[in-house]
Structure formats: structure tokens, C-alpha cells
Amino acid sequence: MESRPCIAMIGSNMMDLVTYYDERFPRLGETIVGKDFEIGFGGKGANQAVAVARLGGEVILLTAVGDDLFGPLVQENFARQGIDTRYVKVIPGKTSGVAPIFVNPRGENSIFIIPGANLFLEPEDVERAKEDLARASFFLLQLEIKLSTVYHAVALARELNRRVILNPAPAQKLDFKLLEGVFLFVPNETELQNLLDLPSTGNDEVKEGIEILLQKGIENVLVTLGERGSVLGNRHGFSWFPPYEVTPVDTTGAGDAFLGSLAFFLAREYPLEEAIDRASAYAALSTTRRGTQKSFPSREEFTEWLKIARKKGG
């Protein structure tokens, strides 16, 4: 029997409060009628964990919720997805993370996050889970929790000889000395631009940004470029990956679908290039449906769709 890939996810969860609007966003002081509203489970960490679980992987999840209305719902959702909630920390007196999201008629989104309890996941929580975390082949991290906790997780992964996939979202100034040896660093183009103060994100600037990050001790840098696909840089040079063409209705969480599935495919020991191609397909399929986690395909749905998409692509 095929063994179940295991990923450690130390990161955030949020309740997504999603407004879909027609035509345009209201101006300052203006009220206009929106098109639709949905509440869903989100947060970059939780989304990436759910993508792993939907594909059949095991997740060792470390996250934090508040002792409010949303906390138990978030925990129930993880349990429904088959994710162990043993390390979901409840923070007394704090609210759970929330994310007001605005989706335009082209399916593109703008997001605020209010991390709440997420900022109380501590380095000691990572240390306490060490024995279980050691079962994972990859550590999957983002930046919606305290940076000290992220750095501690990277250090622990190094100590345990596990590979780290770091999604630097939302972008913020990082101490790259503490990130040395990270296996895969995956910003989108806006994050790359903000991280390195790049003037723009044309292909030349993206390559320049990747080179800067490689010099800082990152092993592989993969920049996701939306409709332009993605580009991987490492000591062998650059490789470009075309996107899978779909008509998106909601791109919210597509980056997380990409990251979670990428971690899963790498843990299944696909070569990096093949894992990236599969993750691009998984993310593309997720954009054809509304919502964040609920748009993530199951393993069966994905396998069927990929066969057809690859045939079409020749």
C-alpha cells in the first residue's frame, strides 16, 4: 500500500468574510449594493493544510484560535477534513483570525487579515510538538503568524533534517540569516516586489529578485506569476512553467491550493518540476469554483481533470 505523505503545517487560520461585487469597489464615503456574500474557512496556513488533506496527505497542524464564536467552527472544519486538531491552541480572551475579502467581477481578490489569536502561536508550541513534527517530510510555513515562531520552525526543521517550504505571505522584512537552507521559497510577484523593493515585476526583475534570494542561502526560489505561470530559479538556472488555462470565477486561495498541493506532491517524491506542474493544475482547477477551501478539488476530481487538461494541452 502507498504510504501517506506527511506535512507539518505551522501557521494561520482565518474566517473568510467574502464580498463579491459587480463593476467597481465603492469610493470613499460611498455606499453601493454588492453582488453576494459568503463566509468560509480560510487563512493561508489552514488553506494549505486542507489542500494537503483533500489530496490524501496527513497534516501535523499547529495553529491558534480564539475563545469566540469562530474557534469551535474552525476546529470542527479541520476535523471534518480529517486533520488532527490536537495542536490547535485556544487563546483565552482573543478573537479568532478573520479576513474580509473583496472579489471583483473578474474573480480577482483584495484581502485584509486581522490575525487575532494567530499571533499567539509561540516558538514553545513548536518545540512541544517536536516529536510529532519529526514524522513530517516537509515543513510548510507562511507569514500570518509571529515571525519568531516561523524562525523557530525553520530552525527545528534544520535540526530534524526536514525540508522547508516557505510562502512569504503577507510579505514583510525577513532576517534571511535565520532562513538559510530553506528548500523552497515561494512568493507571488507582488510579494517578491515588496520583499526586495523591486521597481516592477517584468521577467528581468523577477530573475534578478530570484538571484538575490539564492545568494541569501535559499536553495530554490519559485515565483508565481498568475496568468504568466511561474518561474523556478536555483543553481541549475531558471525554468518557466506555463499556466493551465481556465476561466476563473474566484482566485481566492489559489496560491494556497498551489502551495499545499506542491508540498503534497513533493512529499510523494515527484521531482520538483513535475510537482510544480501538478500544483499549477490543482490551483487552476480551484479558481473555477467559488470560495477558498471549498474550491479545493479532491484527489479523485483532480486526477480526472488533469488527464483531460493534459490531453488538451497536447
Residues noted as catalytic: 256
Min. distance of Cβ 211 from ligand RIB in angstroms?
26
Left if phi > 0, otherwise alpha if psi is -120 to 50, otherwise beta: which for 89?
beta
Q: Would you state the cell numbers that stand for residue 10, as one nine-digit string?
A: 505551522
Question: Which of the 8 DSSP states describes residue 23?
Answer: S
State the nearest-atom distance from the C-beta of 44 to ligand RIB, in Å. Answer: 4
State the Cα–Cα distance between residues 51 and 311, nearest whole angstrom.
Answer: 24
- Provide the 3-class DSSP secondary structure of residue 101: strand
For ligand RIB, the closer CB: 289 or 310? 289
Cβ neighbours for 76, distance < 8 A, ≥ 6 positions apart: none
Q: Which residues contact 299 (CB under 8 A, 6 or more apart)?
A: 54, 55, 56
Cβ neighbours of 199 (radius 10 Å):
7
Amino acid letter, residue 205: E
Pick 120 or 162: Cβ nearer ligand RIB: 120
Nearer to ligand RIB, 42 or 233 (CB): 42
Q: Report d(CA 283, CA 113) in Å as an integer.
A: 21
Of the pair 58, 191, the CB lying nearest ligand RIB is at 191
Q: Which residues bind ligand RIB (CB under 6 A)?
A: 14, 16, 42-44, 47, 99, 111, 113, 144, 252-253, 255-256, 292
Element (H, E) at 212: helix 203-215
DSSP string, 114-125: B-GGGGG--HHH
Q: Residue 167 corresponds to which amino acid?
A: N
Residue 65 or residue 156: which is nearer to ligand RIB going by CB? 65
Residue nearest to ligand RIB (CB): 42
Provide the minimum distance between the beta carbon of 123 and ligand RIB in the complex, in angstroms, as a whole number: 21
Q: What angle in degrees, to the nearest 10, is found between the helix axes of 254-267 and 44-54?
A: 50
Q: Please say which residue, 100 or 243, places its beta carbon nearer to ligand RIB.
A: 100
| Residue ranges of E strands in the chain | 6-10, 14-20, 36-42, 58-66, 88-91, 98-103, 109-111, 138-141, 163-166, 184-185, 220-224, 230-234, 237-241
Q: How far apart are CA 169 and CA 203, in angstroms?
A: 21
Which residue number, 13 or 193, has a Cβ lying nearer to ligand RIB? Answer: 13
Residue 235: CB minimum distance to ligand RIB, A: 30
